[in-house]
Structure 1
Amino acid sequence: MSASDTAKPAHGPDVARSIFAVDGSDLMVGGVAVRSIVEHVGRPTFLYDGGILRASYRALADALDGFAEIHYSVKANPAKAIIALFLSEGAGIEIASIGEYRAAIAAGAAPERILFAGPGKRRRELEEVIADGIGEIHVESHEEIERIEAIAAGLSLRVKISLRINPMAEAQAGAMRMGGKPTAFGFCEEDLDPVFAQLAQCRQLDFVGVHIYGGTQILDAEALLNQWRHGIRIAGDIAARLGRPLETIDLGGGLGIPYYAGETPLDLAAFKAGLPELSALLAADSNLAAARIVVEPGRFLTGPGGIYVAEVNAVKDVRGTLFVITDGGMHHHLAASGNLGQIIKRDYPIVAPARMDEAPSMAATIVGPLCTPLDTLARSALLPALKAGDLIAVLQSGAYGPSASPGNFLSHAPAAEVLVENGEVMIL
C-alpha cells in the first residue's frame, strides 16, 4: 500500500452498501430511510443501527469462541441505550470514569460485572464504586494503590484489583500505541518490583490479575494475536513471581475498523484461527489455566453501525475548490475532522444518503459552520452535485462522536442521537 493510497478517501457508497441496506435512492438505518428519520428528529444527528451493533458483537463473540469474555468499553459510545443493547447481548462493561460507571448502572449493568480502568481515578470516584461492589479496579499508580487500600479499610471491604501493565515496545501494534514508551498508563513491565513490595503491605486488596493494552485501531489479525501473545507471557511471568494463579487476564481492546482507502476490515477468520495457540499457552501454565480472559472492545462494536448526518447549507466555488458548507461539523464529530489525533488529515467515507442511486460528479471539501479552518469534515469527498437542503452522511461514526467532541464550541446546539432497530426509532 502506498502513501498516496492511504491518503485517498474510501469510496463512500461501497462502504455504505457493505454495512447498511440501500433502497433505491435511500440509505437505510434499522429498516428506515435516513431522510425519513432526520425529517422527524432533526439534524445534525447521529444514527445508530441496532441490528448492525448486535451483528458486530455476535461476530466477535463467534470469533472468540469462548476464549474470552467481552466487556464493552463505554468510552466508545456512552449512550445508555447503546450500553443496554450490549448488556442484552451478554457483555460485561469497562469504564474509565464515574460518569461512565453511572451510565452503565443506569443501563442495567451489575457492579460486579464492571471493570474500572484509567490513570487518574479520583478518590470520590473510587469511594462510590468500591461501596457499590465493583467487580475489579485496574490500578495504574502507587498513589492509586494507597487510595484504594485506605478507602477499602474505611469501609471494611476487600477490593479486587489488577495491575495495568505498560508492555515493552515489541508488543505494540495499531494506530495509537498505548505502551512501550513513557506514558501515564499503568506500570512498566520491566519495573514491577516496587509495585509488588507495596502490594505485599496491603491488607484490603486482592491482587487478582493483569491488564495489558498495547495499542488500538489494529486491523492486522497477526499483529493483534502477537499483542495478546505477549500479554499472556507477561501474565505468566507475574503469576510465577507471585507463586500463585491469576484470576483475570485483561488483554485490552485494540480491534480496529477501516476508515480510509486501502484499509481492510480485521480478518476475524484469521484471528479465530490463531486463538487455539493462545489457548494452548494458557493451558500449559498452571497459574493461568483457570484465568478469566477479558477483552474490552469499543470502536469495533459501535463504529460501523453509526452515521453522522448533516444538512447542506450552501455550496460555493472558491479559487477552484468546491466547498460544501453544512450545519454540522467538528463540534459534533471531532474524529471525522481529523483533529482527534491524526497527523495527516484523512477523510472518513461520506455519502449523500438520499441520493444513493446517483454516481459521484464532484470532489468537494465539506466544512461546518464554525469560524475555524479546523472545521473540515472532508477534503476530497466524491459526491453527487449537492445543493442547499441535501444531506450528507459520515460513515463509521458510531464511536467517539459527541462524547469525544468540543460540543460547546461556538454554542451551537448538540447533535441528536438516535437508535433505530427493526423500524423503531428511539431518540436517546
Structure 2
Amino acid sequence: MLFAFDDTQCRSLAETHGTPCFAYSGAVAEAQFRALRDVLPGRVRLAYAVKANPHPGLLARFASLGASFDCASIGELGRVEALNLEPGRTFFAGPGKREAELQKALAMGVRIQAEGFEDLARIDALVDRETAVNLRVHPAFDVSEGNRIIGGSGPSAFGIDEEDVPALLARAAQLRHVRIRGLHVFAASNQRDAAKLKTIHGAVLDLAKRLHEQHGLTFEQIDLGGGLGIPYAPEQAPLDLAAFGQGLSDLLGRHAWYKGELILEPGRFLAGPCGVYLARVVRIKESRGTRFAILEGGINHLIRPLLTGEPFPVKAVGQGEGAAAHTLAGPLCTSLDRLGEVRLPELKAGDLLAFGSTGAYGLNEGMTHFLSHPVPPEIWVG
C-alpha cells in the first residue's frame, strides 16, 4: 500500500486542516503490526523504533497491541514513559548516551544497549544491584550491500568492533554490577528480500554462538535490529511476510543452543504505510528545459529523498495518471531542496499533491527549523 488515504479522503483532509499537513491512519498502522506479529515465532518480540515516527497517537496504538519500544534519546524515552508501560518493554540505544539519559533509562527499568566499555562503566557506577545490559557489536561481516544509512564492515561510530570484544569482556569482568546478557546487531535498512534478511539474521546468530562458545556469554536476548523494508514504487515487491517468519523459525531451529528471545526493531515497516503528506503547488517555473513545480514544503518536511536518493511515492490528487516531467522543489533557499523528478499530469498552481508512505521518516526527520517556516500539523485518523 503506497497511499493510506484515497483521493476523496486526501481532499477532505486538505480542506479541513489546510496544507501542508501530515495525516496518519491508525487502522493501517494496526494492520501492519498485526500482519507482522502473526507470522513471527512466539519467541520474537516487536520493539517499535520510535525514531521512525514518535507521534503520541502512533505510540499509544502500538502499545495497546503489546509492542515494546526502541528509543535512542532522552526525548524518545520521555514519550514512551508517558505510556505508563511496565518495566522491560523499552530498550535504549545510541552511540552518545549522556549520564542524564542513562539515569533516566535506569529509573524507567529500560534495557540499555551498551555501545562500548564507557556505557558499561557508567552504568556500573549508577546502580547498586546486578543490572543486565545488551552489548551492541559492530560485526566483521558486511551484509549492507553499500547501504549508506547503516554502513558496512568498515569503521563505525556504532557498537564495539567484533575483534575488540575479547578485550572489552576482560575489562567488563572487573565491574561490580553490570552483566552482559544480550547481543545487539543492526545490519539492515529497508530490506524487502526475505532471503537476504534470513542471511543477515543468520550471521547475527552465528556471531552470538561464537561469543557464547568462545567467551561463555549467556544471552537472554539477541536483538536483530530493524531494517524491514516497504515499497516506495508500484514496481517494488513488498516483503514476503510468510517467508520472513519462516526464515526466523528456521534459524531458531538451527540454533537450538539459544533459549532466549529475539528482538526486532521495525520502524519504517510498521509506521511508513500509515502516513501521507499533503502539499499544494505554489508556482510552476520553466528553466532551461526543466519544469519545476515549487511546493509549500520540501526538505524541511521530507528530507529522506535527499539523504537516500529514494523519493516517496507521489500523486496529483484527483488527476489520475500523467506523463509530464516535473522536478519537485520546495520553498527553501537552497538548491538542495528537491523532492524528486516525477511524471505527473501537467501541474499548475493550487494543485494538491499527496506523498505516500510518509508515516516513517517524515516530519520528524525534516529540516523544520531552517527558514522558520510554520511546522505542518499532524492529523491522527482512526
TM over 0.5: same fold? yes
Of residues 188, 193, 206, the one that matches 1:215 is 188
CA contact (8 A) 1:174 1:215 kept: no
Is 1:331 the counterpart of 2:300? The answer is yes
Is 1:348 the counterpart of 2:312? The answer is yes
Amino acid at match of 2:306: N
Task: Name 2:123's counterpart in structure 1.
Answer: 148
Task: Name 1:30's counterpart in structure 2.
Answer: none
Task: Name 1:359's counterpart in structure 2.
Answer: 321
Instruction: Provide the C-alpha distance between the structure 2 equivalents of 1:346 and 1:172, rounded to a whole number of angstroms.
Output: 16
Instruction: Provide the C-alpha distance between the structure 1 equivalents of 2:352 and 2:338, rounded to a whole number of angstroms.
Output: 16
CA contact (8 A) 2:113 2:136 kept: yes
Deviation at 1:178, TM superposition (A): 4.2
Deviates more, 1:196-205 or 1:314-323: 314-323
Deviation at 1:403, TM superposition (A): 1.7
Distance 1:44 1:132, change over 3 A: same
Deviations 1:32-66 (A, max 9, x none): x1111122222111111111111111111122142
CA contact (8 A) 2:211 2:217 kept: no
Instruction: Provide the C-alpha distance between the structure 2 equivalents of 1:170 and 1:325, rounded to a whole number of angstroms.
Output: 40
CA contact (8 A) 1:139 1:163 kept: yes
1:143 alignment partner, SS class: helix
Task: Name 1:44's counterpart in structure 2.
Answer: 20
Q: Any gaps of 5 or more consecutive residues in structure 2?
A: none
Of residues 188, 192, 211, the one that matches 2:161 is 188
1:330 alignment partner, SS class: coil
Task: Name 1:102's counterpart in structure 2.
Answer: 78
Of residues 118, 122, 130, the one that matches 1:158 is 130
CA contact (8 A) 2:115 2:136 kept: yes
Is 1:297 the counterpart of 2:261? The answer is no
Amino acid at match of 2:209: G
Of residues 233, 245, 249, the one that matches 1:272 is 245
Of residues 41, 45, 51, the one that matches 1:75 is 51
1:190 alignment partner, SS class: helix
Task: Name 1:66's counterpart in structure 2.
Answer: 42
Instruction: Provide the C-alpha distance between the structure 2 equivalents of 1:203 and 1:58, rounded to a whole number of angstroms.
Output: 41
Deviation at 1:164, TM superposition (A): 0.4
CA RMSD of aligned residues (A): 1.9
TM-score by length of 1: 0.84
Of residues 273, 276, 279, the one that matches 1:310 is 279
Instruction: Provide the C-alpha distance between the structure 1 equivalents of 2:359 and 2:203, rounded to a whole number of angstroms.
Output: 30
What number of residue pairs does the alignment pair up? 381
CA contact (8 A) 2:105 2:112 kept: no
1:392 alignment partner, SS class: strand
Deviations 1:68-108 (A, max 9, x none): 11000101011111111111111101101110000111134
Deviation at 1:397, TM superposition (A): 0.9
Deviates more, 1:385-394 or 1:260-269: 260-269
Instruction: Provide the C-alpha distance between the structure 2 equivalents of 1:376 and 1:64, rounded to a whole number of angstroms.
Output: 39
The percentage of aligned residue pairs carrying the same residue is 40
Of residues 126, 150, 155, the one that matches 1:177 is 150
Task: Name 2:355's counterpart in structure 1.
Answer: 394
CA contact (8 A) 2:5 2:276 kept: no
Deviation at 1:331, TM superposition (A): 0.6
Distance 1:95 1:170, change over 3 A: same
Instruction: Provide the C-alpha distance between the structure 2 equivalents of 1:172 and 1:34, rounded to a whole number of angstroms.
Output: 36
Amino acid at match of 2:315: V
Distance 1:115 1:327, change over 3 A: same
Q: Any gaps of 5 or more consecutive residues in structure 1?
A: 1-14, 28-32, 422-428
Is 1:116 the counterpart of 2:92? The answer is yes
Deviation at 1:110, TM superposition (A): 3.2
CA contact (8 A) 1:208 1:248 kept: yes
Instruction: Provide the C-alpha distance between the structure 1 equivalents of 2:143 and 2:321, rounded to a whole number of angstroms.
Output: 44
Deviation at 1:259, TM superposition (A): 2.2
Deviates more, 1:291-300 or 1:190-199: 190-199
Instruction: Provide the C-alpha distance between the structure 2 equivalents of 1:273 and 1:70, rounded to a whole number of angstroms.
Output: 16
